[in-house]
Amino acid sequence: MVLGMNTAAIYNDWLGRVIDGKFTLLQWLGGSEWDDVFLTELPGDPERKVAIKLVPRDVEGAEACFDAWSAAAAFSHPHLMRILDTGRSQLNGNPLFYAVTEYAEENLAEILPERSLTPLEAREMLDPVLDALAYLHAKRFVHGHLKPSNILVVEDHLKLSVDGLHRTGEAAQSTPSPSIYDAPETGVEAMSPAADAWSLGVTLVEALTQQTPVWNRSTHADPVVPETIPEFFAWIAQGCLRTDPAKRFTLDEIRARLHPPPPSPPDSLAERAGESTPKRWQAPVVAALMVLIAVFAFLRLRSRENVPQAPPVASEQSAFTVAQPAAEATPSPQAAETPIPNGRTEKGAVMEQVPPDVLASATNTIHGRVESRVRATVGADGNVSDATLESPGPSKYFANKALQAAHSWKFKPALVNGQPVPRGWIVRFVFERTGTEITPIETNP
């Protein structure tokens, strides 16, 4: 191995060297047995710090790594590290490949020795990770190295590294000592998105417990997910950590649990049935339909599989620091004035969504995605009595448009023992050039 020297030798010999006549090695940031990473700066922009990774050209898999870098340089996703430059050069007469990427202030592996993530922080981590993995899979790539050290923070944005991508269908290089983050089929079968699902399960367990799950690779048994993990996350981890890749959860299955669709309001069915009935029979038919719907809903609740729901979305104070859970927050004055009785509860539902009124000229300025979240208090009459910005996001304009839209929404109120009661909702607005994605979540059903 040429580059894998000790830290003292690196500081004494490599610092100050220039790679490809452009990138001065300023500080050693870390490395492995087959690569090293340094702090450097972009030519002509000394204020912008970036990272440069060096891989000797004579190590196994170096050519494939360089090809993956070249492909990833064309990727554009808000939760993937950008590759700014790639090339071939030499250090001390030894040929090497290099890739210049954004500089990450920290990564998840640096946080976990100090503390685990809260459930809300873990929930906040999942969305950007899933988005980035889905983007890679659509490009016919597998990340292949998902773990805490590759979940990075760049200018308060969570991003995944793109250092060791694999093309879907290609065999990954086998290692004598694979880690638990490597799926059981790695090095034996062709790489597939299922390998990333396995790594996500391991990472999720570690993020919540500071320990990876217990697993004996020599057996065919699935890893053991600790009982201390909240039920919702344990369900995800168990679905990802199946030794048979065909039985693992897909990203779509995980996302469906994170963002369940709002239930369809039953009133619309009754209204349509009433319109097609002769007027003198309208009232009894509508009443009968409502009774049937209520009975069906009750039986469905009794027989529904006990699938845990996603925790409420937290605010984005920083990549790994979030607000207190909604259940612990001080209730609004209106909600406090109306006590909620104990008893059988039926969830509320969205009856009328009002999209944000956004100018086309503003939408055209978006690069990637702009997200804002609004916390709304819905009264017993189904109207929004109060709405505040849970997380404004990077743009005041889009945050204000989201807040204005949420104020105009209409809801079917939640019921306790048949009586309407106030409820809280989180409405997530994701603005893109192609449109706005809106996801409502009832926070205290």
Residue in 254, 194, 60, 207 with CA at minimum distance from that of residue 184: 194
Q: Residue 35: pLDDT band by 50, 70, 90 thresholds? A: confident
In whole angstroms, give the CA distance from residue 344 to residue 363: 44
| CATH architecture of the domain covering 7-102 | 2-Layer Sandwich (3.30)
- The DSSP line for 320-372 is TB-PPPGGGSPPPHHHHHSPPPPS-EE--EEEE-------HHHHTT-SS-EEE
Percent of the chain predicted with pLDDT > 90: 40
| Sequence-distant (≥ 6) Cβ neighbours of residue 258 within 8 angstroms | 123, 126, 127, 130, 310
Please name the amino acid found at residue 391: S
Q: Residue 100: pLDDT band by 50, 70, 90 thresholds? A: very high
- For the domain covering 344-442, report its CATH number: 3.30.2420.10
Question: Residue for token digits 């105009």?
Answer: 408
What pLDDT, on a 0 to 100 scale, did the predictor assign at position 266? 56
Mean pLDDT of 415-430: 88
What pLDDT, on a 0 to 100 scale, did the predictor assign at position 9? 56
In whole angstroms, give the CA distance from residue 91 to residue 2: 9
Residue in 437, 314, 445, 334 with CA at minimum distance from that of residue 385: 334
In whole angstroms, give the CA distance from residue 155 to residue 75: 19
What pLDDT, on a 0 to 100 scale, did the predictor assign at position 330? 37
In whole angstroms, give the CA distance from residue 290 to residue 284: 10
From residue 329, give the alpha-carbon distance in Å to each of 73, 316, 332, 372.
43, 16, 9, 19
3-state per-residue secondary structure call for 36-61: EEEEEEECCEEEEEEEEEEEECCCCC
> Is the model's pLDDT at 316 over the cut of 70?
no
Mean pLDDT of 114-132: 93
- The DSSP line for 218-245 is TSSSPPBPPTTS-HHHHHHHHHH--SSG
> Is the model's pLDDT at 104 over the cut of 50?
yes
What pLDDT, on a 0 to 100 scale, did the predictor assign at position 228? 92
Predicted TM-score (pTM) of this structure: 0.61
Percent of the chain predicted with pLDDT > 70: 77
Mean pLDDT of 296-324: 45
What pLDDT, on a 0 to 100 scale, did the predictor assign at position 29? 87
> Is the model's pLDDT at 10 over the cut of 90?
no
DSSP state of 444: -
Given a contact cutoff of 8 angstroms between Cβ atoms, the answer to whether 444 and 387 are in contact is no
Mean pLDDT of 159-174: 84
Helix (H) or strand (E) holding 439: strand 435-442
Question: Higher model confidence: residue 305 or residue 166?
Answer: 166
Instruction: Return the SS3 of 386.
Output: strand
In tens, the pLDDT along 198-241 reads: 999 999 999 999 999 999 888 889 999 999 999 999 999 999 99
| Sequence-distant (≥ 6) Cβ neighbours of residue 60 within 8 angstroms | 173
> Is the model's pLDDT at 317 over the cut of 60?
no
Listed by start position, the domains of the chain span 7-102, 107-172+179-258, 267-303, 344-442
In tens, the pLDDT along 240-271 reads: 999 999 999 999 999 988 888 776 665 554 44
> Is the model's pLDDT at 195 over the cut of 90?
yes
> Is the model's pLDDT at 314 over the cut of 50?
no
In whole angstroms, give the CA distance from residue 157 to residue 155: 6
What pLDDT, on a 0 to 100 scale, did the predictor assign at position 263? 67
What pLDDT, on a 0 to 100 scale, did the predictor assign at position 188? 84
What pLDDT, on a 0 to 100 scale, did the predictor assign at position 274? 47
Q: Residue 99: pLDDT band by 50, 70, 90 thresholds? A: very high
What pLDDT, on a 0 to 100 scale, did the predictor assign at position 311? 59
What pLDDT, on a 0 to 100 scale, did the predictor assign at position 399? 86
What class has domain 107-172+179-258?
A: mainly alpha
Mean pLDDT of 329-334: 38
Instruction: Return the SS3 of 374.
Output: strand
In whole angstroms, give the CA distance from residue 70 to residue 267: 55
Task: Quote the mean pLDDT of the chain.
Answer: 80
Q: Residue 65: pLDDT band by 50, 70, 90 thresholds? A: confident
- The DSSP line for 61-110 is THHHHHHHHHHHTT---TTBPPEEEEEEEEETTEEEEEEEEEPPSEEHHH
| Sequence-distant (≥ 6) Cβ neighbours of residue 172 within 8 angstroms | 144, 166, 186, 187, 191, 195
In whole angstroms, give the CA distance from residue 411 to residue 405: 13
What pLDDT, on a 0 to 100 scale, did the predictor assign at position 84? 93
In whole angstroms, give the CA distance from residue 270 to residue 293: 9
Question: Higher model confidence: residue 280 or residue 441?
Answer: 441
In whole angstroms, give the CA distance from residue 32 to residue 143: 18
Helices and strands, number each (H, E), in the chain: 12, 21
In whole angstroms, give the CA distance from residue 156 to residue 126: 16
Q: Residue 325: pLDDT band by 50, 70, 90 thresholds? A: very low
- The DSSP line for 167-218 is ETTSBPPP-SS--TTS-TTBTTBB--HHHHHHHHHHHHHHHHHSSPPB--TT
In whole angstroms, give the CA distance from residue 96 to residue 418: 71
